[in-house]
Every structure is written in C-alpha cells, then in structure tokens.
Structure 1
Amino acid sequence: MNPLAYKMRPEEISEVIGQEHLLGEGKLLQNMIESGYIPNMIFYGPPGTGKTTVANIIAKCANKKFYKLNATTDSLKDIKSVINELNTFSGYEGVLLYIDEIHHFNKKTQQSLLEFMESGQITLIASTTENPYFYIFKAILSRATILEFKQLEEEDIITGIRRAIKNSKEEFKNKEISYDEDALKAIAELSEGDMRRALTLLELLLYGVKYESKNNIDITREKVEELGQKKLLNYDRDGDSHYDILSAFQKSIRGSDPDAAIIYLAMLVKAGDLISICRRLLVIACEDIGLAHPQAISIVKSCVDAANQLGFPEARIPLAEATIYLATSPKSNSAITAIDSALSDLNKGTVGEIPSYLKDGHYEGAKELGRMQGYKYPHSYKNSYVKQEYMPKNLVGKNYYIYGENKMESISKSYWDTIKGK
C-alpha cells in the first residue's frame, strides 16, 4: 500500500497548495509552464513544500520524460545511465532530470552535469533544502534559475489535510471519518510547514489509532497528542536554519526586542547549540551595544562562562539573562563601523608611512634614524593631551570613529571637545 503522502500528490499545478509567489496567476513559474519554456532550475526550500511534485508536473506539461535521482543514494554512474538511455525515450520532447538533494553530490559529480546542461541533452531541475549559494557549484548556479519554495502556512496544511480526509473516505467505506478544527490545527502545528509530515501524521491517525467505535474514526486534538509526536524544531547546525535563527536572534537584540530575542534563544537552546549562542552573545555585546555600554562585554562574558560551566538545562538561565540584558541596553555600532572602515582603506592600497616620532626608538641607533625625535609625551601636558599628528601620511585628516548618539558616547564627545578646544 502506497503512503498517504504519495497517494495525495497533486497531478495538476492548480492542485498544488501554497507557493503562490511562484505558481499564482502571472507569477514566474506559472508563466514558464504556460509558455512551455522550461529552463534549468534549482528549487530551494524546506522539505514537504512541493518541490518534487512541481518538477513532476512541469515534466508532464512540457511532455518531457521525467527521470528522478537522489544525490544521497545515486552517483555519477546513475547520471550517465540516464544519458545513455536518451535515444530510447521516443514520443517525448526531451528529458527532465530531477536531482533531489543535489547538495549531497560532490563538486566533481556536480561538474559532470554541466556538459549535458550546455548541450541541451537534458533539462535539469535540482532541489535542495540548503542554501544553493553555499552548497552548489557556481558554474551550475550561473546556468540555472533559482526558485525558493516557502514553508507552508498552517492554513495551507489544514487545507491539505481536509483534502486528504475527503479523498480517504472512499477507502473507509464502512467507517465515518469525523474531526474538529482543533485537531487539524494540532496536526498543522506538529508538521511545521511540511505537508509530507502532516499527511504521515494523518495516516497514523487513520490506521494506527484505536478508536472507541469500530465504525467511526473521530480525530481529535487529544488523539493527535496521544501519538506522542514531539514537535521537531527545524534546525540543522550545518544548514540554513542554523544561520537563519542566529541571524534573527542577533537582529532582535539589535532591534531592542527582548521578547523576540528570547523566542529565538529558546530555539537555539532547544537544539542544544551552546557554542553558537555564547559566541553570538559575545559578538553582539561588542558589535551592537559597543561603546554605548562598554561594561556589556564583561557582564556577558560572565554569563557565558556560567553557561559553559553549568551546561544545559541550567545554562538557559544565564543565557536568558545575557539576552535580555543586551536587548534592553543602549545600542552603538561605532566600534565595528570604525574598524571596518579602516580595514577597507587598508584593502584599497598603501596608507603611507608612519610618522617617524611614533616609531619604536628603544634600540641602539634609533636616534640616528630619527626615531621618536620630537615626540610629545601627552602625560606631560595638561589633561594628558597635546595636539600632534598620529595618522600615517596618506590618511591625515581621515575620521574612522564617529561618536554614537547615546549617553555614554555623548559624554565622551563633550569631554574631548572641551579638552581639544572644539
């Protein structure tokens, strides 16, 4: 017996749920299908969002022979086997080769596809759950259109579940299938935007759960929860989700939203990713809080040390403290802006010679070379300040540090404006 997810796979584009940004009226993929122009493409997005289904439908609409390989189990030998059979596919207008999880192919195997793509022997549609710009050979990217499939919304999942229940009633002729909206919502929540996961869960409810009546299948939230399906966090330490959550975590702290920051922290904690959390908190303390509150790095370092010493689950407490502390602290990026600007100038070319009076003069013969001659020792002057040029020759007059508009840096600016007579 085929799995429910297989039996419910759409056969027409109009039956595909979600992906309106690609398949809606007038959208890119819909226009391609209608025109019959099918370029090489890379479908990028989470599992269970319709990538394989859409590729299959495209092949059907374009009258191309659909051939599917999976990069986790197939190899270059399998690709060549498809190519060797090209002349046997009579009655078709070419071949559409679909490679699932192409990021699992090594560089050599990916490169081997180029010859067949450029000759037009095949139309390639590859799918990946990882960011193609990180994992797919650049030469393939330059020859393919990249289309991102979005995670399905709960409403989309519920629509798919309703459709599956309706189509399953024929199979359960002697039984009445009933459900409440709360049960469908529970399935949708557990599936996390993955239609395949939702249909698998529904299949368990239809076939694997014992109900009070032999003639009725009454799907309720309680029955869904009885299956003991723990909600899985869509998180892979080496994948896209890892960087997306960390990015959202930092941006929420930078945006001074402690509530959003805490939910992203919870995702990272749930994944047990202590190293990434600690590293990111330390970066944020310097990059986003910076000189607006210079003590932040010391406090966060203490929280990080405590978290590493405690380990999970207790580590969540100092991590939460550091997160909320940073999110509610004043913000300044003046330090990172200054160093990045300086590095940019270094990358552009020479900065010129360092003034001779700033060079090291603590060695025999330094005086004869003019080292440290004419240097003014600031502590010998009022307020430990004296005007002299410190910049390399070609950067005289260049400003890298711009005082941030916060209390701490404003006080510092006011002090030095007074000292320097500005």
Structure 2
Amino acid sequence: MKRLGMLRKWNNEIDSFSPYFFFPFILILYFFVSLFDFGKIEYFEANRNILWAILVGMLSYLAAVHIVQKKNWMFPSLGLAFLKGKTKYFLYFLGFIGLVSYIIMLATGQIGITDESVRRHLDPKLNFLSSFLWFSVLFLICDRAVREYPFTKKQMRTYFFVLAVVLLLLVLMGYRTPIAIMCFTCLIVVHYTIRRVKLSWLLAFLFIVGLSLSLFGFFRVITEDQSKKFNSHEGPNVELNEEQMSRDEALRRKIDETPKWVRGLTEVSVTGRIVLSKLMEYADEHGYMYGKLHEGIFSTVLPGKQLSPRMQITEMVNSLTVDKGKYVTRPGRTTTPTLLGQFYVEAGYLAIIIGFALYGLILSMLYNQMKQSGFASFQTIAYAFITTIFMISIHTGLLDLLFLLMIGYAIVSSAIERTRTNI
C-alpha cells in the first residue's frame, strides 16, 4: 500500500514536461523499446555497447539543467523589445508561403502517401516551404488558445477543425514527424495552460500516438509499389560463404517468426539502436568527423550537387554491412542517426557531453522564462515546441536546416515577447 501511495503521489505531483523529467524519460523509454528487436540486432551484428553513450548524454544534460535552474539563467531580450506583439505577423507571412507551396504540390500530383518513391522525391524547395504552413498554424493556434482560454464552443470547434485539416494534409504527404510535433506541442501547452497532464495520462498518450505513428509507417512500407526499383528490398549483390548464408537464413527465419505488424511497433527504436551501434563502430574504425557532418546541414543549400547529412549517415552504416549482403538503409534513402549517433560520429563522448549539455541549457532557460512570465504566455508555446523537437531528435537527430530555423524563431520570439508580469 505504501508503494501504491508513492506511485499515486508521483502521478499527481510530478511535472511530466519539466526539463528534469521529460527529455531523460523519453531517452530511456526509446532505448528500452529497442530491446524488443525480435532478432534484428543480432542479424545486423549491432553489438556495440550503447549504454555508456546513453549515461554520458543523460548525465551531461541533467548537469546543465541543474546549473541553469540554480542560476536562473534566461535568454536576453536581444534589444528587440520594440517588436513585442508583432512576431505573429511573421507567422502569417510564413503561413501564406507554406499554403501556396502546398497547393502547388497538390496541383502537380506530389502526394507522398501514394507511394514511398513519391514521398522521397518531392520537390525539395516546395517541400521546404510547405513546412511553414503547419509551423505557423501550430504557433498561431496555440497563441490564441493561451490568450483566449477558457474557450467558447465555437472557438473550440474552429481550432480543432483547423488542426484537423492541417493534420490531414500532413497525412496526404506521408509525414510522421510534423504530426508528432503538432500533437506533443499542443499537449504540453494544454498541460501548462488549461489542465495538468498527469504522468499516467502522458504514458497513455505516448502509447496511442506511438502506436498510431508506427502503424502509419508500417502502412507506408506495405503499400510500396514493388515494381519500382526505388522500392526494391533486394540486398547487395555480393558472394557470401556457405556458413554466412546459413547463419543469415536462420536469423531471417527467427525474425519472420514475429508478424510484420508487431515488428513495426518497435521498428523506429530498433532501427535507431542499430544505426547508433553502427555509427559508433564506423567512427571507431575510420575516425571522427569533427564537424563535417553538421557542416552538411548548411552546405545542402549551396549550388551544385551536395550530399545531405542523412545521406552521409546512410553511406557510413551501409559501408559496414554491404559486404555481408545487407543494407541497414536501402539505397537512395536517408538514415536517421539518433541524437547520440549524430554527436558520436563528430567527436565521440566529448561531442555527446557538449551536445546534450547544450540541449539541457536551452530547455532549462526556456523553462525559466516560462515560469517568470507565467504559464499563460508565449513562453509556454516556445518551450513546448522546442521540447518536442528535442524529444523527436532523440531518434531523428537534429540535422535539418528547417528545424534549426524554427528553433531559432521560437527562441528569438520568446525573448522578444517575454514579460515580467506573472499571469
């Protein structure tokens, strides 16, 4: 009974989305789920010990959070106080650009849900610009919700309708990441401004959203047009000795004992664990990149043919398995490196310490701003959005210029809109 009472106390009192709890909790949960690999870890020989990387990253993150909380650091106003109250107009401008881009994509038949080969070959410029639609809608609706709560029934219907339309558009393009960002950002805003989300509710939400997005990803795979070369599941054409072939065949049978849809439930985490292990192996064998991977974030916008960071990750991990007749990632597709893998290939544990400490620094400073300004403020939206981006980057890494620009906007606008009046 005493233990049950303690669990109830935690459920009722813990701030589920504080920087001390949420990010470390998701990090642990992500790699815990990856333990249910159904034989894939053994098949890809992903045998590097990732525990130390997880512990080092989490401890450096928590240390940064603790220091910032103790010092009560916040972002400076940047001398742009004259723009206070005007940042939303920039969102309207971005939303218009995003809407026009989205309409052009739909009009030209660029609907990603139709096939994976279509989704991965959308016009890069239109794809980039169309993302501003969901970004601006998310910020504008959350801003109105924070300022106008409690809502009338008409307001609630309007906001839900707009969000539903945007989510439907994202489904049409086959996007999962923006859907997750919108769902969790809204949940965190609700937690701090409307109704507190208990830990048990958060776990239920994680299960429902995680299950839905996993099945959505599974649907994308099983509906691929196998007549197209891009969608081929054939492995590399290499000669293997009889022992290796027998071993792989036995492991494939072991994997196939579990239904595909069940494997699909943990596919994201399992793939992340495999990629992290392979990146650690690659870096240990070939040396660290010392910033070249992150340099690729910005070089991709330069003229000429550029190799994106995630394509570099694909080449790294596949180079370790192709001679064994396997692809970690099918050719022509990008690979999500995990946040730990993204940092490790740059400078090993040192980069993990610096990167995770930076995450803790940013989230904790935003959290301090939110507490100072009051939860019913723009600070809550910025904190919710960046917390969600950082959470998702545990799997995807943070190698997209688009997301860096969005994070930059959230930080700058929150500094501009900060007020010292507690609400």
Under a length normalisation based on structure 2, what TM-score does the superposition of the two structures give?
Answer: 0.19
Higher relative contact order (CA 8 A, sep 6+): 2
Q: Which has the higher strand share?
A: 1
Max radius of gyration: which structure? 1
Under a length normalisation based on structure 1, what TM-score does the superposition of the two structures give?
Answer: 0.19
Q: Which has the higher helix share?
A: 2
